[in-house]
Chains A and B, each alone.
Chain A
Amino acid sequence: MTRTGFVVANLFRKRTRTILTLLSVIMAFLLFGLLQSVNTVFSSGADFVGATRLFVQARVSFTTPLPRSMVPKLEAIPGVARVAYQQWFGGVWQTNTPLIMFALDPQRYHDVYAEWKMPEAQWQAFEQTRTGLIVGRQLANQHGWKLGQKIPISSNIWPQKNGSKAWEFDLVGIFDGKDEDWQKRTNLAFIQQDYFDEANQFGLKGRTNFFILKLAPGADAQAVSKTVDAMFENSPDETKTQTEKDFNISFVKQIGDIGLIVRWILFAVFFTLLLVVGNTMAQSVRERIPELAVLKTLGFSDGSVFGFVLAEAFALVLAGGLIGLALASLAGAMVEKATGGQFLLRLDASVWLLGVLAIVLMSLAVGLLPGLRARRLEIVDALAGR
Chain B
Amino acid sequence: MSEPMVKVHNVTKVYERGKQKIEVLHGLTLEIPKGDFVALMGPSGSGKTTLLNLIGGLDKPTSGEITVGGNRIDQLGSGQLANWRAHNVGFVFQFYNLMPVLTAEGNVELPLLLTRLSAAQRRKNVAVALEVVGLGDRAKHKPRELSGGQEQRVAIARALVSDPQLLVCDEPTGDLDRKTADEILGLLQVLNREHGKTIVIVTHDPKAAEFARRTLHLEKGQLLEQAA
Chain A residues close to B by CB (< 8 Å): 1-3, 5-6, 9-10, 12-13, 290-291, 294-303, 379-380, 383
Point out the residue from A5, A6, A291, A300 that lies within 8 Å of B82, measured CB to CB: A300
- The winner among A9, A294, A298 for most chain B CB atoms within 10 A is A298
Q: CB distance B97 to A290 under 8 Å? A: yes
Q: Find out whether the CB atom of A297 lies under 8 angstroms from the CB atom of B58.
A: yes
Sort A-B residue pairs by CB-CB distance and give the 6 closest, nearest first.
A299-B86, A9-B101, A301-B82, A299-B85, A294-B97, A298-B111
Q: How far is the CB of B97 from chain A (nearest CB, A)?
A: 5
Nearest residue, chain A, Cβ from B112: A1
Whether B111 contacts A299 by the Cβ 8 Å rule is yes
Cβ-defined contact, B114 with A299, below 8 A: yes
Verify A298–B85 contact, CB threshold 8 A.
yes
Q: Which of B63-71, B102-110, B128-136, B177-185 is the contact stretch?
A: B102-110
When the two chains form their complex, are residues B97 and A379 in contact, meaning their CB atoms are under 8 A apart? Answer: no
Chain B residues, CB < 8 A from A10:
101
A-B pair number, CB within 8 angstroms: 71
Determine the residue in chain B with the shortest Cβ distance to A5: B106
Among A1, A9, A296, A380, residue most surrounded by chain B Cβ atoms (within 10 Å): A1
18 pairs, CB–CB < 8 Å, chain A vs chain B: A1-B106, A1-B110, A2-B113, A6-B113, A9-B99, A9-B106, A290-B97, A295-B110, A296-B82, A297-B85, A298-B85, A298-B91, A298-B158, A299-B82, A300-B86, A302-B79, A380-B53, A383-B97
Category for how many chain B residues contact A: 20 to 34
Q: Hey, which chain A residues are within 8 Å of B79, CB to CB?
A: 301-303
- With CB as the reference atom, state the residue of chain A lying closest to B17: A386
Could you tell me the distance between the alpha carbons of A297 and B100 in the complex, rounded to whole angstroms? 17
A69 to chain B, nearest CB (A): 79
Tell me whether chain A's interface is mostly helix, strand or loop, or mixed. helix
A92 to B146 CA separation, bound complex (whole angstroms): 70
- CA–CA, A1 to B140, complex, Å? 12
Shortest distance from the beta carbon of B171 to any chain A beta carbon, whole Å:
12
**Nearest Cβ in chain A — how far from B123, in angstroms?**
9
Interface residues in B80-101 (C-beta closer than 8 Å to A): 82-87, 91, 93, 97, 99-101
Which residues of A lie under 8 Å from residue B119 when comparing CB positions? 2
For the complex, give the distance between the alpha carbons of A12 and B86 in Å.
27
Q: How far is the CA of A380 from the CA of B97 in the complex (A)?
A: 14
With known contacts A297-B58, A380-B58, A380-B59, A302–B78 Cβ distance under 8 A: yes
Task: Give the shortest distance, in Å, between B99 (CB) and chain A (any CB).
Answer: 6
Residues of A contacting B106 in the complex (Cβ-Cβ under 8 angstroms): 1, 5-6, 9
Please indicate the chain B residues that have their CB under 8 angstroms from the CB of A300 in the complex: 82, 86, 114
Contact B59 A298 (CB under 8 A): no
Closest to B79 in A: A301
Minimum C-beta distance from B128 to chain A (A): 16
Closest to B96 in A: A294
With a CB–CB cut-off of 8 A, which chain A residues contact B78? 301-302
Within 8 A of A (CB), among B14-67: 53, 56, 58-59
- CB–CB B97/A1 < 8 A: no
**For residue A290, which residue of chain B has the nearest CB?**
B97
**Given that A298-B85, A299-B85, A380-B58 are known contacts, is A13 also in contact with B100, CB under 8 Å in the complex?**
yes
Q: Is B82 a contact partner of A302 (Cβ separation < 8 A)?
A: yes
Q: Is B58 within 8 A of A6, CB to CB?
A: no
Given A9-B106, A301-B83, A302-B78, A383–B101 Cβ distance below 8 Å? no
In the assembled complex, the CB of A68 is this many whole angstroms from the nearest CB of chain B, namely 75
Query: Which of A294, A299, A383 touches B83 (beta carbons < 8 Å)?
Result: A299
A303 CA / B83 CA spacing, docked (Å): 12
Bound complex: CA A301 to CA B87 (Å): 13
Do residues A6 and B53 form an inter-chain contact, with CB atoms below 8 A? no
B152 shortest CB reach to chain A, Å: 14
Q: Is the CB of B114 within 8 A of A298?
A: yes
A350–B82 CA distance with the chains assembled, in angstroms: 44
Docked Cα-Cα span, A9 to B110, in Å, equals 13
- Can you name the residue of chain A whose Cβ is closest to the Cβ of B97? A294
- A3 / chain B contacts, CB cutoff of 8 Å: 113
In angstroms, Cα B99 to Cα A3, docked, is: 14
A379 touches B111 (CB 8 A): no
Query: Within 8 Å CB of B85, what residues of A?
Result: 297-299
A71 to B111, CA, bound (A): 83
User: In whole angstroms, what is the CA distance A76 to B202 when docked?
Assistant: 102
Closest Cβ–Cβ distance, residue A1 to chain B (whole Å): 5
When distances are taken between beta carbons in the complex, the residues of chain B under 8 Å from A380 are 53, 58-59
Residue of A nearest to B50 (CB): A380
Q: Chain B nearest CB: distance from A8 CB in Å? A: 9
A11's nearest neighbour on chain B, judged by CB, is: B101
Question: Which residues of B have CB within 8 Å of A1?
Answer: 102, 105-106, 109-110, 113
